[in-house]
Amino acid sequence: MRAVVLTGPNRHEVRNDLAVPRAAQMEVLCKVDSVAICGTDLHIYEGRFPGRWPKGYPFIPGHEWSGTVVEVGQGADDLGWRVGQRVAGTSHAGCGYCRMCRTGRYNLCENYGREPLHHQYGHYSQGADAEYVVQSIRSVFPIPDELELRHGAMVDTASIALHSVKRAGIEPGDAVVVVGPGPMGILTADCALALGAATVIVTGSGDRLARAAELGFVTVDYRREDPVQEVRRLTEGKGAHVAIDTAGTSHSIRQSVDVLRKGGRVAFTGVPTEGDTALPMQKIVLEEIDLFGVRANRNTMEEVIPLIVSGRVRVAPLVTHTFPLEDYGQALHTFADRIDGALKVLVQPAC
């Protein structure tokens, strides 16, 4: 089969001589239709997580994908899996035995990194930027006919957005600030509305912020005005009930705390790569600000799919570019440099 193979930091090749994997017990082999590129893919490509993501080279990246089941491993057929099913994939497949898995928090599996007990596909387990991928049935989810197959590659992103707003405990009537108007930020804003937020304010700048405005969100351009003061103006001087940082920079993390009112909650979805970030601890302590980390998603793939089908969480407007597998380098460049207003970029091995 053909696949993108990382050979080192900032190096890859597209090979056509790899063996098609086979589905083992409780696994399915899928023909990949589309793979969405995310910020973590870029950081893995650049080698920002040495020895962790990936553990070594050669390595096939890609973890946000959609496709069709072509082989069902032993035991999976007894649970209803069948050839021809349209599916969306996510990255985590917990061991199922540890305390975290048994309480539903398989994204924090205590056996993380110990294959075959745990897999994180496209991170340290081989990923989906290939014609075929094998994954545990714990990390593959059927999608309905109403959802276009290529848009199934967006389900993982949307599920993380939903997990983010659930972590922050959004309540009906809340004023919510989403910091960062990228694909994750826009999906998070949609999920906040779906969970009952009365107002969603998106902060950022440039073409992506303009896109958020086109989709109907209140926007604040941090390059033109003080986002903290503007959020307070929009919330009767009090600040937001909830903030969600999707950018993962030192400035966005600080802003996410600063825009909150007393007793506010903030969830951090973006993975920082800049090292330690100073937080306003006096505000956090004296105003009882609740902080929540977000690690991928848990139990939200099946929850977000009906929201996508109903149109309450919008994925189609965020897919701006598609490339064949052979043009992976151009696809990554388009995503990283936001060429032609790129939001979500898909790689399609079948093309």
Distances (CA, A) of 186 to 44, 158, 160, 189: 23, 9, 12, 5
Strands 240-245 and 218-221: unpaired
Tokens of 128: 């989906």
User: For the chain, which domains are there?
Assistant: 3-142+315-348 (3.90.180.10), 159-293 (3.40.50.720)
Q: By C-alpha distance, which of 40, 308, 336 is closest to 151?
A: 308
Strands 199-204 and 175-179: parallel
Distances (CA, A) of 347 to 30, 182, 300, 319: 16, 18, 24, 11
Q: By C-alpha distance, which of 320, 345, 295, 246 is closest to 37?
A: 345
Give the separation between CA 303 and CA 308, rounded to whole angstroms: 9
Contact 2, 60 (CB under 8 A): no
pTM of full prediction above 0.85: yes
Give the separation between CA 320 and CA 335, rounded to whole angstroms: 10
Digits of tens for pLDDT over the chain (351 positions)?
A: 999 999 999 999 999 999 999 999 999 999 999 999 999 999 999 999 999 999 999 999 999 999 999 999 999 999 999 999 999 999 999 999 999 999 999 999 999 999 999 999 999 999 999 999 999 999 999 999 999 999 999 999 999 999 999 999 999 999 999 999 999 999 999 999 999 999 999 999 999 999 999 999 999 999 999 999 999 999 999 999 999 999 989 999 999 999 999 999 999 998 877 767 789 999 999 999 999 999 999 999 999 999 999 999 999 999 999 999 999 999 999 999 999 999 999 999 988
Residues 185, 293, 195, 179: is their CA dihedral positive or negative?
negative
Distances (CA, A) of 218 to 132, 185, 200, 201, 349: 41, 13, 6, 5, 37
Q: Which residues lie closer than 8 Å to 139 by C-beta, 6 or more apart?
A: 89, 90, 91, 92, 93, 119, 121
